[in-house]
Amino acid sequence: MSRSSKGVKGRKEEGDTLKSCIEGNLTNLASKNVISALVNVFIKCYEFYDEAREEINYPSIFSRYVSIRLYEEFKCSRISNLLMNSLKYINELFSIARDVFDAVFLLRLHLVSRLTIHTRNPMIPLEISISWDPILNIPYIPSSSLKGIARWYVEGVKSSIDGVPVSKFFGDSNSIGLAVFFDAYPIECSGESLIEPDVITPHYKETDRKIDEASSSPTPITYPTIAPNTVFATIVALNHSYEEEKTSINSKIAYEFIKYVQEALTQGIGAKTTLGYGRTRTIISTSNVK
C-alpha cells in the first residue's frame, strides 16, 4: 500500500473515530441538560480532533453531528413531557403576573418558517448556536429579542399611541418602560421534530478584515434551527403608570399597544429574517386588563 493511500485510510479512520465519539456520547438528550452534555462531549472528543487536526475542522463537524442528533432526539413524539412542563411554567407565570401588573397578555406565536435565534450563544460550543433553557431543557426565544423587534417596528410606524409617546412603553436611558416582555417557550410541536438542521456555505474567510479571493473555499456549516409549525407562548405585561412617572395609560391604550406588538412579531424574529426566517402568526390567547 502506498504512503498516500495509507494517509487517506488513516484520516478516514480518525474521522470515523471522531464521529463515533460524538454520536456515542450524545444520547438521551431530552432527559439530560443539553448545554452540559454538549460541552462535556465537545471536550471529551477533542482528543480525536487533535489527532487529525490538519484534516478535520472540529467545530464544523461537531456542529453537524450535534444538529442531526438534536433533530433525532427532539422528535415531537418524544418530548411531550418537556412541552407540558413548558406550558405549565408559562401558565404559572401568567397567574403571578396578573397580580403584579395592570395589564397582562398571553400570546401564542405560531412559527410559519424556521427560526434561528441567539446564534452566538457562548454557552453552547457550536459554530452557529441556539438559545437553550438549561432548566426546561428546550430552546426558547429570549425576551430581549421580542422586545427588540417590537421596539424597532412600533417606533417605525408610530411616534405615540393615543398621546402616549412610544418611548414610554419601551423605556430609554432615563426611565424604565411601562411594558415588560417575557421569554417565549415552545408549547406545541406538530411537525416531525422540534429541531431541524439547516446549512449555510460561506465561501471566504476574513484575514485582517480583508476577503482573500485566492483563498476562496466553500465550507458547509450545519446548525440547528427551530422547526416551522412550532407554537410558542409568551407574556407581555404593562403597568398603567409608575409613581415617579406622570404618564398613565388605560385598557384601550394597552390593547392598542399589544396590537402593534402582534404586528411586529409577524415581521420575523431572530437572525436571517430578511431571508424569511422567524415568521410568526400571533394571537392573544388570554388577557387580564384592569
For 3, phi then psi, to 5°, come to -60, -40
Residue 215 falls inside a structural domain: yes
Residue 6 falls inside a structural domain: no
Residue 28 falls inside a structural domain: no
> Beta strands of the chain (E only): which ranges?
103-111, 132-133, 138-139, 160-161, 164-165, 179-181, 185-189, 195-200, 206-207, 210-211, 221-226, 230-238, 280-289
Residue 39 falls inside a structural domain: no
pLDDT-derived band at 9 (thresholds 50, 70, 90) equals very low
For residue 205, the model assigns a pLDDT of 62
Here the CATH number for the domain that contains residue 124 is 3.30.70
CA-nearest of 29, 61, 56, 28 to 42 is 61
Burial of 229: CB neighbours in 10 Å, binned 0-12, 13-18, 19+ = middle
Where in the sequence is the domain holding 171, given as residue range(s)? Answer: 82-289
Residue 57 falls inside a structural domain: no
Residue 97 falls inside a structural domain: yes
Residue 10 falls inside a structural domain: no
**Among positive and negative, which fits the CA dihedral 64, 67, 73, 76?**
negative
pLDDT-derived band at 3 (thresholds 50, 70, 90) equals very low
The span from the CA of 32 to the CA of 38, in Å, is 10
For residue 112, the model assigns a pLDDT of 94
Following CA atoms 211, 215, 67, 140 in sequence, which dihedral angle do they give, to the nearest 10 degrees? -10
The span from the CA of 201 to the CA of 222, in Å, is 9
pLDDT in tens, 80-97: 999 999 999 999 999 999
Measure Cα distances from 113 to 70, 172, 196, 271, 276 in Å: 18, 32, 11, 12, 7
Residue 142 falls inside a structural domain: yes
**What pTM does this model have?**
0.86
Q: Which amino acid is at 123?
A: M
pLDDT in tens, 196-247: 999 877 655 655 566 666 666 667 789 999 999 999 999 999 987 655 555 6
Question: How many domains are contained in the chain?
Answer: 1
